[in-house]
Amino acid sequence: MNFGGVIENVVTREEYPLEKAREVLKDETIAVIGYGVQGPGQSLNLRDNGFNVIVGQRQGKTFEKAISDGWVPGKTLFSIEEAAQKATIVMCLLSDAAVMSVWPTLKQYLTPGKALYFSHGFAITWNDRTGCVPQKDIDVIMVAPKGSGTSLRTMFLEGRGLNSSYAIYQDATGRAYDRTIALGIGIGSGYLFETTFQREATSDLTGERGSLMGAIQGLLLAQYEVLRENGHSPSEAFNETVEELTQSLMPLFAKNGMDWMYANCSTTAQRGALDWYPRFHDAIKPICQWLYMSVKLGNEAQISIDANSKPDYRAGLEKELKALRESEMWQTAVTVRKLRPENN
């Protein structure tokens, strides 16, 4: 498929229908290991689509959540070890930190011919740091939804699909491609585009730290602070910085593109946007280049590994998140959300 003059390998649901995916995986037992961020969405979508799927999860609150979602202990819900043993396809959807701690246990159940599936390339790409080195007689594959597990599930229930990337790291059986695409269709992907574990991991970490989370928070906060420092009220600063962006503009340029947005705004907004986007680009691109190199060199992976290894990591994380949550900008957001028409 042509993307702006670049040809990419893309698989659509029309080309690879659900019926074909079911046929490919009809004799497989799919074990979703981990019921945290991606686990619920992927496992529930697979179940609803008619695949033979079970869940492996440690005892605790998350285990209880799986029960509340209809997974039955001893039938479709097991310990991580038992689920991995029963499976022909092991979908490793644990957090990166959890993958490292569980890997020595999980690896012993990856017998010849099985498939090991990830939704993130982190553990394999930096396996010199994570220790996750799979044996050569299994398939190692990936489908990475381009959004949260919650979004994957919500869009599935709405009859839509969340786009995913796919990659094959190791094809031991000759069936890795079909297993990968069938799973991608089964979890509810809109379309699937080809990547590698290394490209997915580097683009994902760059995106999270950049435009998806880190940079967007930095940009919003900077503009909000400038408006507040110049006498604008919290409500005005928030509406001009966040609310109009997320509630009005984002849905439109998501649907029609930024070029359409530029063509359909006031002449004053057009002129300002055309004049100022190159200045933002020139200021931000060096930071993006610095970020990408930090990811590519493994620095960001090591920072994540080191942070998650600290015994007090959760306490420190909650302190940082609490400060963000209680900041004026996001406390203003709480009030603004309550005032939206749909909440009144």
Q: Which of 182, 90, 167 is nearest to 134 (CA)?
A: 90
**Contact indicator for 25, 53 with CB cutoff of 8 Å:** no
Q: Which ranges constitute the DSSP H helices of the chain?
A: 18-24, 39-48, 61-68, 80-86, 96-107, 122-125, 127-130, 149-157, 176-186, 197-209, 214-229, 234-238, 250-256, 258-263, 267-296, 299-309, 313-325, 328-339
CA atoms of 35 and 65, how far apart (whole Å) = 8
Q: Is 256 helix (H, G, I), strand (E, B) or coil?
A: helix
**Contact indicator for 340, 239 with CB cutoff of 8 Å:** no
Q: Out of 114, 120, 153, 228, pick the active-site residue.
A: 120
CA atoms of 305 and 318, how far apart (whole Å) = 17
CA atoms of 183 and 143, how far apart (whole Å) = 8
**Contact indicator for 55, 87 with CB cutoff of 8 Å:** no
The dihedrals phi and psi of 312, each to the nearest 5 degrees, come to: -100, 20
Beta-sheet pairing, 189-194 with 10-12: antiparallel
Does the active-site annotation cover 232? no
* 119, burial (CB in 10 Å: exposed 0-12, middle 13-18, buried 19+): buried
Q: Which of 153, 158, 119, 118 is nearest to 41 (CA)?
A: 153
Active site residues per annotation: 120
